[in-house]
Amino acid sequence: MSKGFDWETTAGVHWSKAENDWMCGGPTRATQALLAFDLIGSDTFKNLIKELNQRGYDVETLRFSVKKKK
């Protein structure tokens, strides 16, 4: 589940074709849980995905990441 992210320093979310679901990664399980439950599981995220689909976007290409400060 790398998708080009360095999971030791980066938290991120991307679509997994193999899992057919959103995948979260990060340096700690707490960070992964934060992304999974507070972001992916939120109504706001679900509504965003729905709206992007309706506008013709391929949401399976949506991904984002954030790196830890040095």
The single-letter code of the amino acid at 43 is D
The answer to whether the predicted template modeling score (pTM) of the entire model surpasses 0.85 is no
Tell me the mean pLDDT in the region 9-37: 94
Q: Which one is predicted more confidently, 58 or 2?
A: 58
CB 49 within 8 Å of CB 40: no
**Residues with Cβ < 8 Å from 10, sequence gap 6 or more?**
25, 26, 27, 65, 66, 67, 68
pLDDT at 2 over 80: no
Tens of pLDDT along 28-67?
999 999 999 999 999 999 999 999 999 999 999 999 999 9
